[in-house]
Chains A and B, each alone.
Chain A
Amino acid sequence: ETGVTQSPTHLIKTRGQQVTLRCSSQSGHNTVSWYQQALGQGPQFIFQYYREEENGRGNFPPRFSGLQFPNYSSELNVNALELDDSALYLCASSLATSGLDTQYFGPGTRLTVL
């Protein structure tokens, strides 16, 4: 069974640019959630996708957007990058959308905005 994978591992961008981060869910999981973890903080929920539709969103502006594909892989897109977007971005997959379902995390993508 393959776990959650994310690419790239590290990324450096400049302010105002756009970035796309990618995630492959654990086999059999149809739900993916994205989190932002700033240095020294706990992760914060960005949004969740279920069967290619966004079905939940945290307190993040619209320049954070996502996609989920038929094979349940996912992308996180961030437009107009700001310095404060520098963080570890974590993807998590789960069997379904219930709060009872465990979310399994990938290793993350470290984004640095200069």
Chain B
Amino acid sequence: AQSVTQLDSHVSVSEGTPVLLRCNYSSSYSPSLFWYVQHPNKGLQLLLKYTSAATLVKGINGFEAEFKKSETSFHLTKPSAHMSDAAEYFCVIGGGADGLTFGKGTHLIIQP
């Protein structure tokens, strides 16, 4: 079975400072990994996905993530936080007929 663990339930940063949301994964084979964002009362939006083409994945709104097999990690970063980034972020693994497996989420708070 595949799984992901989001290491922080809440992260608070000041506007204009870097963002780091941490995710570790477990998989017995090469995984598909995703980061989704969910704003209040909105659906899930795909930020980026890793499917083994390149280890550094660039997404929308300035986010990127690096796949590190040796560390079984897929951390999400952004150089400079914006107020509009405040939301719930989910690290996700899998897909196909087994469906996506979501982490418990990290609530990102942006301080003015």
Contact = CB atoms under 8 A, between A and B. Distances in A.
Interface string B7-43: 0000000000000000000000000101010000011
A86 interface: no
Contact of B95 (A55, A103, A105, A108): A103
B98 A45 contact: yes
Size bracket, chain B contacts: 20 to 34
A105 B49 CA distance: 15
Interface stretch (A36-44, A65-73, A74-82): A36-44
B99 A100 contact: no
Contacts of B105: 41-42
A105 B44 CA distance: 6
Interface string B89-103: 010001111111111
A61 interface: no
Interface string B65-93: 00000000000000000000000001000
Closest 4 CB pairs of A and B: A45-B99, A56-B97, A42-B102, A99-B95
